[in-house]
Amino acid sequence: MAEIKEDVIVSGSNVEEAVAKGAAKLGVDPNEVSYELISKKGRKILGFGNQKVDVKVFRKKSVDERVKEFVKNVVKKFDSSTVVEYKREENLITVNVSGDESAILIGRHGTTLEALQFITEIVANRASEEKIKLYLDVDGYKKRQDEKLEDFARSMAKKAIMEKRDIALRPMVARERKIVHNALANDSQVSTESLGEEPDRRVIIRVFNKFNQKKR
């Protein structure tokens, strides 16, 4: 099978002509490429004169290609044994990374993992015309933490009901607060509300009584 070229260097009398030649050599439409001007010699005045431009024409990569390439390049620097699994469902991209040195990629309390997800989501959205959501996990760490948070939310709800008082949870990031809200969404005895400003914004678990019944 012939290797698919990702870029090519071509010359033309102007940039448009060179880019068109480059796209043809890559076998794609000119709208599917970007370019870098390498050199420009001579000039034209009122359509007269000699000019030559050299440009490097690149095949534009899809959002999926950019995300896969970015994640693989980053994690390989930490752990050469890593395996990256990728899944795309409409505007949601799920990436699962596994390897021998997963602790390095997770970091203390998941800080490295959160930073990697944040940067990767920026990469995805720069390459996309629509808003992309990204979920990146390493060896199931985030999934385990989410399950622990759901259990914690339910236990705090039970405590609030038993003690008949509202309970304020620790400050959480938006994603964690959403997990708490969802975990208690179907509990008819409590409601949840986010209060405060970042980074101290937290979820308040409120108890319903006979004078303030939650609608099912």
Q: What is the pLDDT of residue 140?
A: 92
Mean pLDDT of the chain: 86
Residue pLDDT, tens place only, 146-185: 999 999 999 999 999 999 999 999 999 888 999 999 999 9
Check residue 41 and give its pLDDT: 78
Give the H/E segment covering residue 206: strand 202-207
Q: Which long-range contacts (CB under 8 A, 24 or more apart) does 153-160 make?
A: 153/179, 153/180, 153/183, 153/184, 153/203, 153/205, 154/183, 154/184, 154/187, 156/205, 157/184, 157/187, 157/189, 157/190, 157/205, 160/190, 160/205, 160/206, 160/207
At the second CATH level, the architecture of 63-139 is 2-Layer Sandwich (3.30)
* Reported confidence tier of residue 5, pLDDT bands at 50, 70, 90: low
pLDDT confidence bin for 6, thresholds 50/70/90: confident
- Tell me which amino acid residue 71 is: V
For the chain, the domains span 7-59, 63-139, 144-207
Q: Say whether pLDDT at 138 is over 90.
A: yes
CATH architecture assigned to 144-207 = 2-Layer Sandwich (3.30)
Model confidence, pTM? 0.65
Please write the tens of the pLDDT for every residue from 20-41.
888 888 888 888 788 888 887 7
Query: Is residue 207 within 8 Å of 164, Cβ to Cβ?
Result: yes
For residue 47, what pLDDT band results from cuts at 50, 70 and 90? low
Tell me: pLDDT of 42 over 80. no
Q: Predicted confidence band at 126 (pLDDT cuts at 50, 70, 90)? A: confident
